[in-house]
Amino acid sequence: MALDRSGQSINALFEAGNHVELSFGSVSPSVSGTGPGSAGASTPTGNVAESYTQVGAAYKRQLKESTSIAIIFDQPFGADVNYADAGYALSGSAASVTSTGLTLLGRQILDEHFSVHGGLRYVSVKGKYNRPQTSLPAYSSTYSSGSGTGFVVGGAYESKDIALRLAVTYSGEIDLALPGSAGSLTTTLPESFNVDFQTGIAADTLLLASVRHVNWNGFSLNDDDPNAGTLVKYDSDVSTYSIGIGRRFSDQLSGSLTIGYEAAKDEKVSDLGPTDGNVSYAIGGAYTLENGVKISGGIRYVDFGDAVTKLVNATFADNSAVGLGLKIGYTF
C-alpha cells in the first residue's frame, strides 16, 4: 500500500458517449501496536492512523466515433500518522502527506478490438513531519507544495460480444521538490502499471479483475537538513490484486462483490506506515435513473498484515480499516 491511495484509475475513459462523474470516499483505519515506552517498558501506541477522505472527478468527451479525451482528478498519494499517546517512545511524532493529481488522456480506437490511450499526469504534493528526540535528533518541518508531470500510455483489447475488456496502462516517474520550513524535501514518485480486466461469464454477470504494480523499491523522502535525513524509505515493490463478480439484476440495478490482496513483505516497515500487506473485502451496488444518472456506492473492509517497525522495533498486529464510497455519474 505504501503511500498509494487512489490507484490512479482511468476507467472513465472507457465510458460510453460523453460522461461526467464525481466521487467521495471516507476511510477509518485502526492501527495500533506495542513498543518501548519513555521509561523503557512495553507501552501501547494507541491508534496512530488518522481517518481521511478522498475526492475524485472525471469528464470524458467523445470527439468522434473513434476518438475521445478525458480529464481525471484524484488524490493519488497520502499518509496521516500521529503518535499522540503519552508515554510511548515516539509520542509526539506525526507526519502527513496530501496530494492532488490531474490526468489528461486521449484514446484512439484502431479497429473493432484494439485501442491505444495516453497523455500527461500532473501531481502536486505537500506535507508535514515532526519527530521528537529519539536515537535521532528532534526535527520538524512543514513542506509547501511541490509539483511535477509524467506521462501515461497504454492500450486495450475489447470484444463487445462477451463484454470483454483488457486494458493495460503505464504511468511514468514524477520528480518532486518541496520547499520546507526547515530543510527541503526531494523525491521521485515511482512508475506503475495498472491492468484492468472484465469479461462476461453468464447472462448479466461479469468477472472483474485488476492488478496494480508500483515500483516502490528504492523510493525515499529525503530532507536536505542533516538533522532530518531520509524520512521514509521503501525496499520492495508492491503489487495489489483484486477479483470479483458483477451482477446486473435489472436494467437499473446492479451489484458487485470483490476480494483484494496485497502480499506481506516480511520486512521491517517504516514507523510512519506500520502495516505489511492486506486482504480486503468489498460489496457495492449501483442504480441507474431514467435520465442517465448512475448512483453507486460501497463498503470495503481491509485486514492489515502484522508488522514490526524499523526505528524502535514496535509490533503492530490485528489492525484494520473500513472505507465507504459514493459516486454519481451522468452519461449524455
pLDDT for 40 equals: 65
Beta strands in 215-312 (DSSP E): 220-223, 229-233, 238-248, 253-262, 278-288, 293-304, 307-308
228 part of a folded domain: yes
Residue 237 reports pLDDT greater than 90: yes
Residue 10 reports pLDDT greater than 70: yes
Please state the rounded mean pLDDT for residues 52-57: 97
Distance CA 258, CA 245 (A): 7
1 part of a folded domain: no
pLDDT for 85 equals: 84
Q: What is the pLDDT of residues 264-308, one digit of tens each?
A: 998 999 888 899 999 999 999 999 998 989 999 999 999 999 999
58 part of a folded domain: yes
Distance CA 77, CA 80 (A): 11
Q: Which residues pair with 105 in a beta bridge?
A: 70, 119
For the chain, give the longest Cα–Cα distance. 69
Q: CATH number of the domain at 52, please.
A: 2.40.160.60
6 part of a folded domain: no
pLDDT for 62 equals: 98
Number of structural domains in the chain = 1
Please state the rounded mean pLDDT for residues 29-34: 96
pLDDT for 227 equals: 87
161 φ, ψ (degrees, to nearest 5): -60, -35
104 part of a folded domain: yes
Question: How far lies 240's CA from each of 176, 230, 259, in Å?
Answer: 25, 26, 11
Q: In which band, very low, low, confident or very high, does the pLDDT at 38 lie, cut at 50, 70 and 90?
A: low
What the block records as the C-alpha cell of 18 is 460523453
Range of the domain at 193: 11-331
Give the mean pLDDT of the chain: 94
52 part of a folded domain: yes
**pTM to 2 decimal places:** 0.94
89 part of a folded domain: yes
Residue 314 reports pLDDT greater than 70: yes
pLDDT for 30 equals: 97
2 part of a folded domain: no
What the block records as the C-alpha cell of 216 is 516502490
pLDDT for 39 equals: 64
The dihedral of CA 122, 82, 220, 279: what is its sign? negative
Surface-to-core class of residue 164, CB atoms within 10 Å of its CB (0-12 exposed, 13-18 middle, 19+ buried): middle
